[in-house]
Structure 1
Amino acid sequence: MEKILAGKGLEIALNVCIDQWAPKGNISYLVVRLDDELPMAEIAGRGITTVHASASMIKVLIMAALFSKAMAGTLNLQDTVGLRDVPRVWGGGALQELDVHHRFTYLEVCRLMMVLSDNWATNLLIHHLGMEAINEFAQSLGLKETKLLRYMMDAEARVQGRENVMTVLDLMILYEYIYRCRETGPLGHEMWQLLGRQQFRDKLPFYWGEEVVFHHKTGVLEDVEHDGGILPLVKGTFGLIVFISQVPNSEGIPLGAKLGDIMKDFLENSLP
């Protein structure tokens, strides 16, 4: 991947912030320029191949795998699945408040997974798509370190060492794939719009204002605060991802917001 030399100043500013706020944390970031005609170019990066617990960032992969099957004609997004198909789980989302007799289309379930980070919806998609098929799709995109190894909220699997993992580089490759699909038809456009309707804005876009559209996803576990997506600006379109691990959540959230503020300011005011 080509590196833009002018991004060195951004790396310095981000690393100084990290050293001040969370010197003992395991923190990775990647900022790139995206272009319809050219490969993505790195502006700033740190630990881009470091493997992290993915938290809910893995849901971006599940969405893309679902839509790839719809694009291939092997799955109809209007077919329905029932809540009874997998056990109820808690955590993020809305389905947990409903009775188990409800049925939803694949598209509705995916929307809940992405916009509200619904864990029950996510497990329904994992169940019906299959972990093996989702991981094979990740490999087909060249995601070298991304693995889906457990359902959402499966504490026993985590104790056994089965964790969903990802790198910021893998996620950026996945985002570039979705970015390039956005104008290929209604399904690609739907994926793009789903990222833009994310309701959680407490990290990277916190200081940007609600009017700034950020096509992104967040992820949270104990001592894990991730955020990343695609930011269209006047100067161009940029991918921004931060994975914050081994940092208390009460410190990781404001750190993510500060890093997002530094990134956007640099892209708007300092990048040639």
Structure 2
Amino acid sequence: MEKLIVGKSLETQLSALLATLPSDAIVSYMVTRLNEGEEATIVASSKETQIHTGASMVKTLILEYVFHLAVQEQLDINDTIALSRSPRVEGAGALMELVGNHSFSYLELCRLMMVLSDNWATNLLIQALGMEYINARAEQIGLEHFEINRMMMDFKAVEENRENYITALDMAKLLHHIYELRQNIYGHEMWNILGRQQYRDILPFHWGEDVVFHHKTGSLDCVEHDAGIIETMNGDFCFVLLMSRLRNDVAKQLGAQMGLIMKEFVEDALP
């Protein structure tokens, strides 16, 4: 990707914030300008190829793979999956509150997985699609270090060092890919799902509720991530922020500050 020289001033502002962090904290970010039908342009970036634990960010790839299969007519998004197909898990989401035998369509599970970050919905989709096939899709898209190696809330897998991984660069590529598809029927649905994300406590925290951010967040102990696309009068931009080895409350405050700086820069400082 081409990198804009003017973005150096944004990197300087963000570096000043990052300089206050503990020495073992790892923060990666990318700000890119999206160009319709062309490769994105990098405005600012740091440690974009650093590998981080994926947390709930990997759900974005699962979403893309479901709709890719629907486009290929290998899957009907209205077909249903029974909750009994995968064990109940807790954490984020709403399905764990249900009692009784229920079934949900692929579309409904995708919406729950993304909008509410539902872990049980995610596991149902991983089991139905096949982890190895989801990872093969990541490779097909060109995501070099994007891997799903365990289900959500699978602590035994974590103990066995089986983890999900992402980089800021791969997240930017994946979001740009979905952005390019937003005009077709399935791409439009993905785009709208990303725009209904309920967690707005990192990058868009200071933007106001009226600013639409098509994004996904991810959180684990000492891990906070956020990545998405904002449409502005000065163009459309992708913001990716991955933060590891940082206390969660500190990371969220940092992310909110960085999100405000990023937004003001792309709206006011870019030509």
Alignment of 1:75-224 (within 5 A): 75-183=75-183, 185-224=184-223
Aligned to 2:265: 266
SS at match of 1:68: helix
- Check the 8 A contact 2:195/2:213 in 1, yes or no: yes
Once residues 137 and 186 of structure 1 are traced to their aligned partners in structure 2, the CA distance between those partners, rounded to angstroms, is 20
Matches of 2:141 and 2:45, distance apart in 1: 21
Structural mapping, 1:215-234, within 5 Å: 215-234=214-233
Is contact 1:84-1:100 (8 Å) kept?
no
TM-score relative to the length of structure 1: 0.98
Compared CA separation, residues 100 and 163, structure 1 to 2 (3 A): farther
Q: What SS class does the counterpart of residue 20 from structure 1 fall into?
A: coil
Task: Give the corresponding residue for 2:41.
Answer: 41
Distance 1:192 1:170 in 2: 18
Give structure 2 stretches of 5+ with no counterpart.
none
Deviation string 1:52-101 (CA, Å, 9 cap, x unpaired) is 00100000000001110001000000000000000000000000000240
What is the CA-CA distance between 1:270 and the residue it aligns to?
Answer: 1.0
Matching residue's letter, 2:253: P
Matches of 2:28 and 2:95, distance apart in 1: 32
Name the amino acid aligned to 1:35: N
Task: Report the Cα distance in structure 2 between the residues aligned to 1:195 and 1:35, rounded to whole angstroms.
Answer: 19
The aligned counterpart of 2:250 is 251
Letter in 1 for 2:91: G
The size of the alignment, in residue pairs, is 271
Displacement of 1:19:
1.0
Check conservation: 1:54, 1:164, Cα contact below 8 A: yes
1-structure distance, mates of 2:28, 2:180: 24
Q: C-alpha deviations, 1:137-194, integer Å up to 9, x for none?
A: 00001100010000000001011100000001001110011000000x2111000000
Return the offset for 1:226.
0.3
- Alignment of structure 1 residues 19-34 onto 2, 5 Å: 19-34=19-34
1:193-238 CA deviation, whole Å, 9 max, x = no partner? 0000000000000000000000000000000000010010000000
Question: Residues 82 and 104 of structure 1 are in contact (CA less than 8 Å); yes or no, is this contact kept in structure 2?
Answer: yes
**Offset from partner CA, 1:6-46 (integer Å, 9 cap, x none):** 10000111111111245431000000000113210000000
Query: RMSD over aligned Cα, in angstroms?
Result: 0.8
Check if 1:13 corresponds to 2:17.
Answer: no
The 2-side partners of 1:19 and 1:125 are apart by: 40
Q: For the residues of structure 1 that align with 2:151 and 2:180, how far apart are their CA atoms? A: 28
In structure 1, give the amino acid aligned to 2:249. S
Q: Distance in 2 between matches of 1:252 and 1:117?
A: 19
- Report Cα offsets for 1:96-152 as digits up to 9, x if no partner: 000240011110011000000000000000000000110000000110001000000
Q: Is the 8 A contact 2:226 2:240 kept in 1?
A: yes
Question: Equivalent residue of 1:171, what SS?
Answer: helix
Structure 1 stretches of at least 4 aligned residues deviating more than 4 Å after TM superposition: none
C-alpha contact (below 8 Å) 2:37/2:180 kept by paired residues: no
**Percent identity of the aligned residues?**
48
Amino acid aligned to 2:27? I
User: Which of 147-156 and 20-29 deviates more?
Assistant: 20-29
